A and B are shown apart, each in its own frame.
Chain A
Amino acid sequence: MGSLKLCDSEYRFMTIVWDHAPIGSGRLVELCAEKLGWKKSTTYTVIKKLSVRGFIKNENAVVEVLIPKESVQAEETDYFVERTFDGSLPNFLVAFLSGRKISQKEAEEIKRLIDKYMEE
């Protein structure tokens, strides 16, 4: 069994499972499509992933809960696998110019700028 922490989207998925389990995987796909806007393949991927981590069990197309809601926390992810871009289209050149990470120093300067404005 892995960590008892889940990322936000997995937690949303588990909420559905906790409410309905035991539930047929076909029905779960329907529920996820309706409530989360997920594709069938996404739902199956997550079922598989959480089964491996021991949160749920998927046998004979029926999904059952292994860990109760009370012992799981949703955790905000603080790692960024893939950063996204200001506009809408990902491209690596945008990252050079507009997507540069601002330094701590610059962040503080901008913060001061905002505070100063509010005092005026």
Chain B
Amino acid sequence: MELLNQVFLKVLNMSITAGYIIIAILIVRQLIKKSPKVFSYSLWIAAAFRLICPVSFPSVISIFNIGFFDMSRAQTPVSGALTYIPDTPGNFDLSDITTGISVANSLIRESLTIHSISRSPFQPLPDVPGQTAVGSVPSLLHIVTNVASVIWIAGIVALLACSLVRFIKLKQNLSKAVLLKGNVYECENISSPFVLGFLKPRIYLPFRMNDSEKEYILRHEEYHIKRLDHIIRPMSFLIAAIYWFNPLVWIAYFCSGRDMEMSCDEHVLSVMGPSIKKDYSLSLLSFAMNRRFHAAGLLAFGESNTRKRVKNVLSFKKPKAWLVMIAITVCVGTIAALIANPIFNRDKNPVANEGDSLTDIYGVYEIMDLIFLAPISSSSPDYYLKQHKGTIYEISKNDFTLDLSQSSIQVSARRISVKNPIYEKVTLENKFHAFGEGDEFGVIDLSSYDRKEAYKVLDSAGADTGYRIFLLDNEVWIGHCYIRGTPPEASLEYEHIFRVSK
């Protein structure tokens, strides 16, 4: 069940990215609608990539770098996937969810703040990252995830089963198809010509087409086979079946199908010349009129495919070379921009990157002094320091680790490790309150230091672990804090701050 949940959440996340990509393709497709349809068809490569491949590479060319999107929470520096909804079911909070769009995120965050006040007014952050206190919301989310995964799988099975039944019925009908020549068969009870079969594709024509009609229809179908459309199309259907819950994927499925047909139409016209335009479009019309299928009207929006195809056939001209050049450039650029992930965004979510000071101090540290101890601590500062001496901190790109095994603290976890941590830079003033606001107690004065930097340690999903690293001239401090209350009244309360040294 957990595996199913994880797969489902993965698919859900990929579906969100793909949704944005599909909308982008639909827009670009409108812009280049005057150019040959093979270009519109090729744009769908980007959508297919996003629907098949969970990871991608970060690049400046990515469409997600524009300000409209905010992928800072969906992205981690190490993983190539964009994760809007954490794919560890049961372990996440509603506030971990992001949409990837700046405006939508801030709206959602506002409404979530209200909820979290009523939920957990005084809940300390957990010491061990990833193990969120089991509140009512995460477990409810878990149930929702379970139910949704089951519905998702059932939907796929139903779709594939229905297709299989149709396929078998069609194959029965096609068994009586009569060989015309090569791989071309004539068959009863089919309304339009088509290609079927993976390895040995056959072309099926209705009976009684005249010879000139046969010629251009065969060219059309042979071009499908040459371009492997007879394999691509069923694959697209399989993908659409997996993402059946996403209407944008279905729109992509049908639009890519139309682009595919139109580009084959254009191929035939460019090979056989414009003189066949009328006959060709009349054939398209007659195939459409032959249809005796009455499930129509359900989703019949806009123009029918036939009218669109006929218009496209009639208005077809061999494209000018310069137009083709522009279209190729636009397409290649668009596909690249849609396939790439954004660069990890420093402005929206400043983190330690190569070149930042934090990377210089990566290493293993031990405790030297106690800078601050919470007033509620039951031990004296001297005893507390003695107890904690021997704790080993490791700060590196891939790990933030606390090894307590050499210390004399009595805790169950001897080692706390944050894999692939995100070090998020925070601003430091000359003074800060280590224990709530407004009190004179706990004010830490940093004015004597020239370099003042601090980093939050977040886990790979972006959740605060409560650990803070301070870089003050040549000193390194490590503190652990809790957040009391909820924004905007939240305040930091440090449990302790140690000065550490390599």
Residue of B nearest to A104 (CB): B289
Of A41, A77, A89, A97, which one neighbours B163 at CB under 8 angstroms? A89
The stretch among B1-9, B24-32, B79-87, B176-184 that forms the contact with chain A is B176-184
What residues of B have a CB within 8 angstroms of the CB of A37 in the complex?
177-179, 185
- Name the CB-closest residue of B to A80: B292
Asked if A83 and B293 sit within 8 Å, CB to CB, the answer is yes
Q: Mark B245-265, 1 if CB is under 8 A from A, else 0.
A: 000001000100110110000
Cross-chain contact B194 with A87 (CB below 8 angstroms): yes
Chain A residues lying within 8 Å of B257, measured Cβ to Cβ, are 86-87, 94, 98
Q: How large is the interface on A (under 10, 10 to 19, 20 to 34, 35 or more residues)?
A: 35 or more
Contact with B along A53-93 (1 / 0, CB 8 A): 00000000000000000000000110111111111111111
Residue B88 interfacial (CB < 8 Å):
no
**A96 to B: closest C-beta gap in Å:** 5
Task: Say how far A23's CB is from chain B's closest CB, in angstroms.
Answer: 18
B177: chain A residues within 8 A (beta carbon): 9, 37
Contact of A9 among B166, B176, B277 (CB under 8 A): B176
B306 partner residues in chain A, CB cutoff 8 A: 102, 106, 110
A95: CB under 8 A from chain B?
yes
Q: Which of A35, A36, A92 contacts B295 (CB 8 A)?
A: A92
| Chain B 137-169: CB-based contact to A (< 8 A → 1; otherwise 0) | 000000000000000000000010011001101
Closest Cβ–Cβ distance, residue B244 to chain A (whole Å): 9
A111 CB → nearest B CB, Å: 7
Known: A79-B292, A96-B295, A106-B307. A88 touches B196 (CB 8 A): yes
User: Which residues of B sit under 8 angstroms from A7, Cβ to Cβ?
Assistant: 188
CA distance A41 to B35 in the complex (A): 49
Taking a contact as CB atoms under 8 Å apart, the answer to whether B192 and A81 are in contact is no
Q: In this assembly, does B276 line the interface, its C-beta being within 8 Å of a C-beta of chain A? A: no
A95 touching B295 by the CB < 8 A rule? yes
Digit string of B101-139 for contact with A (CB within 8 Å is 1, else 0)? 000000000000000000000000000000000000000
Distance of A113 from chain B, by nearest CB (Å):
6
B278 at the interface (CB under 8 A from A): yes
A89→B237 contact, CB < 8 A: yes
Q: Which of B227-235, B448-456, B477-485 contacts A (4 or more CB under 8 A)?
A: B227-235
- Residues of A near B176 (CB, < 8 A) are 9-10, 38, 42, 46
Determine which residue in A38, A76, A92, A102 has the highest number of CB atoms from chain B within 10 A of its CB, and name it.
A102
Q: Please list 28 pairs of residues, one from A and one from B, whose beta carbons are closer than 8 Å in the complex, sorted by A's number.
A: A9-B188, A10-B176, A36-B178, A36-B179, A37-B177, A38-B178, A77-B188, A81-B173, A82-B166, A84-B170, A84-B190, A84-B194, A84-B204, A86-B192, A87-B194, A87-B260, A88-B196, A89-B167, A89-B233, A91-B159, A91-B162, A91-B237, A93-B250, A98-B305, A99-B296, A100-B295, A110-B306, A114-B278
Those 3 A-B pairs whose CB atoms lie nearest each other, nearest first: A37-B179, A100-B296, A90-B166
Interface residues of A (CB under 8 A from B): 7-10, 12, 35-39, 41-42, 45-46, 76-77, 79-102, 106-107, 109-111, 113-114, 117-118
